[in-house]
Amino acid sequence: MIHDSGTEYLASNRKRVLLFGMSGLGKTFLSNMLREAGDWFHYSIDYRIGTRYMGELIADNFKREAMKVPFLRDLLLSDSVYIGSNIAFDNLSPLSTYLGKPGSQTRGGLPFDEYLIRQAQHRTGEIAALLDTPHFIRRADDIYRLPHFVCDSGGSICEVVDPDDPDDPVLGTLEQHLLLVWIKGSDAHTAELVRRFDRAPKPMYYQPQFLDHAWRDYRMIKGLREEEVDPDDFIRWTYARALAHRQPRYAAMARRGVTVTAEEVSEIRTPDQFNSLIARAIDRRTGYPAPASDPACLHRKDA
């Protein structure tokens, strides 16, 4: 880790952290809160993917659909209208819409081969966006004069790295520059995420081997051909399995950094509270006792 103790982290004038874990547990909430404080740079991996690496693909998909409408087709061919993605940190719908869902095209699904192409595009974009992190750390300091940096990673970060490989190039690059922080959810959090997803299923990225097994197993259990699959039913069926698949991968990544709980995160309202939480997590990991004057001690359960 880039910090040996909570005291060292608190004293640092260049705090750099990467938040990872399941979507919906507070990564973007914390990142927004830190950015709004004024001296933190917020680097969103999903935003970078959807703009720099998949922005043209997303816009072209919009145009492909618009070309099916005669009125819009004529306007596009005459350069009379502009069609683009209005992706934002808090609105990543253009990216998830492009990823899509596999299954029956009459139900809004994609042919599985096309779906795999888009999954591969996302994987390439996510790896590139993660490797861009050091560049954005330099930009944050050089251009914006912001001393602190938070990388808001996507839920699928654990799927594009090998957390058990000490020589994984992506994780190796990240841990040289940032403190890796896992926001760990409880079983209750997982159950709530599953319920939330069931109400509004959204496209997501899957590890290729996991997706291949899920697609085959689902169709075998249901007795369906590819073109008969209900896209929403498939991703609902897959979601809880995907979360279970990711948990040990997150845990392996956390061995390179620190862990905080979603319950702890839910209590954070200010950057000072966030910094105290991270310092406490470092001391839990290293076994380094923080002095009584350390702000991290103020939140210790045994204080």
Would you state the pLDDT for residue 91? 84
How far apart are alpha carbons 201 and 217 in whole angstroms?
19
**Strand-strand pairing, 16-20 and 179-184:** parallel
Residuewise pLDDT in 10s, the chain (303 residues): 899 999 999 999 999 999 999 988 999 999 999 999 989 999 999 999 999 999 999 999 999 989 999 999 999 998 898 888 888 888 888 999 999 999 999 999 999 999 999 999 999 999 999 999 999 999 999 999 999 999 999 999 999 999 999 999 999 999 999 999 999 999 999 999 999 999 888 899 999 999 999 999 999 999 999 999 999 999 999 999 999 999 999 999 999 999 999 999 999 999 999 999 999 999 999 886 654 444 433 333 332
- CA-based R_g, the chain, Å: 21
Under 8 Å CB-to-CB from 218, ≥6 apart: which residues?
224, 229, 234, 237, 238
Would you state the pLDDT for residue 29? 95
**Domains of the chain by residue range:** 6-52+90-284
- The residues with which 17 forms a beta bridge, in sequence order, are 150, 179
How far apart are alpha carbons 291 and 244 in whole angstroms?
38
CATH of region 6-52+90-284: 3.40.50.300
Residue type at position 170:
V
Q: For the whole model, what pTM was predicted?
A: 0.90
Report H helices in 162-203.
169-177, 187-199
